């Protein structure tokens, strides 16, 4: 895309922030592991982080499959890799949160350009993108940058590609670990959409909200009501 240094940008994490990762994963996993689903999900988070930190870079669909196999085994509900592949194969079923489209519409109406920084493969995000009413202006995937958040690589790639100034950029995310903490480290203003009430220090964020319905006001506060 052509860099637009005068544009104001709002970027988002996708899964957990815009898309209901937890309920979507639970719906896919329950037929596979039944009552052990909550235990598998808890273990999955840990194995996902471990695999994403490994070198060389592993595609996210392989992270999903391998982390699920390990998590299910640890939780006492072992499954085969073939069954675990139902997770990436069912990716399009993950639902967008009900409060997201009104937020995105409000931000577009206010003149912001919208981007996504996601720990996802290109083809998996293309499936997810069909669930949104309108396309995003710029999408940065883990496959594209060959790295996973909380590394700074997504943020740096977005900065170069968009030409955005730090003063014209706010990042919005649910995950403190993957997004809010690294955005703080790199000096990007950030709105913590704390859907999971995880209990981390809210001072890590520029602003903290609990629903997407609060995001437009938070963005306006950070940018000011005028340019």
Per-residue pLDDT tens digits of the chain, which is 227 residues long: 545 557 999 999 999 999 999 999 999 999 999 999 999 999 999 999 999 999 999 999 999 999 999 999 999 999 999 999 999 999 999 999 999 999 999 999 999 999 999 999 999 999 999 999 999 999 999 999 999 999 999 999 999 999 999 999 999 999 999 999 999 999 999 999 999 998 999 999 999 999 999 999 999 999 985 33
3.30.2320.80, 3.40.50.1000, 3.30.2450.30, 3.40.50.620: CATH of 9-20+95-223: 3.40.50.1000
Per DSSP, 179 falls in state I
CATH classification code of 22-91: 1.10.150
Domain spans of the chain, in order of start = 9-20+95-223, 22-91
Q: Which residues lie closer than 8 Å to 99 by C-beta, 6 or more apart?
A: 211, 212, 213
Could you tell me the two tokens for 32?
């596979």
Q: Which of 156, 124, 171, 163 is nearest to 143 (CA)?
A: 124
Q: How far apart are CA 82 and CA 85, in angstroms?
A: 5
Could you tell me the two tokens for 160?
């170069």
Peptide bond into 199 cis (omega under 30): no
Give the pTM.
0.95
Could you tell me the two tokens for 140?
């940065």
Q: How far apart are CA 73 and CA 94, in angstroms?
A: 24
């Amino acid at each position: 895309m052509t860099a637009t240094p005068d544009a104001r940008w709002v970027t988002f994490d996708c899964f957990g922030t815009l898309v209901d990762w937890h309920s979507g994963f639970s719906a896919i996993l329950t037929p596979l592991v039944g009552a052990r689903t909550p235990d598998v999900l808890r273990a999955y988070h840990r194995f996902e982080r471990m695999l994403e930190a490994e070198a060389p870079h592993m595609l996210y669909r392989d992270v999903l499959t391998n982390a699920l196999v390990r998590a299910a085994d640890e939780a006492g509900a072992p499954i085969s890799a073939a069954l675990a592949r139902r997770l990436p194969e069912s990716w399009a079923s993950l639902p967008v949160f009900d409060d997201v489209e009104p937020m995105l519409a409000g931000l577009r109406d206010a003149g912001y350009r919208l981007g996504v920084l996601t720990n996802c493969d290109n083809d998996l995000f293309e499936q997810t993108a069909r669930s949104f009413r309108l396309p995003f202006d710029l999408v940065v995937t883990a496959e594209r940058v060959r790295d996973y958040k909380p590394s700074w690589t997504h943020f740096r790639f977005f900065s170069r590609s968009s030409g955005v100034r730090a003063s014209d950029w706010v990042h919005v995310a649910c995950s403190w670990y993957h997004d809010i903490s690294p955005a703080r480290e790199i000096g990007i203003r950030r709105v913590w959409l704390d859907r999971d009430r995880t209990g981390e220090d809210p001072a890590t964020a520029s602003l903290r909200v609990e629903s997407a319905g609060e995001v437009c006001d938070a963005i306006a506060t950070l940018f000011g009501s005028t340019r």
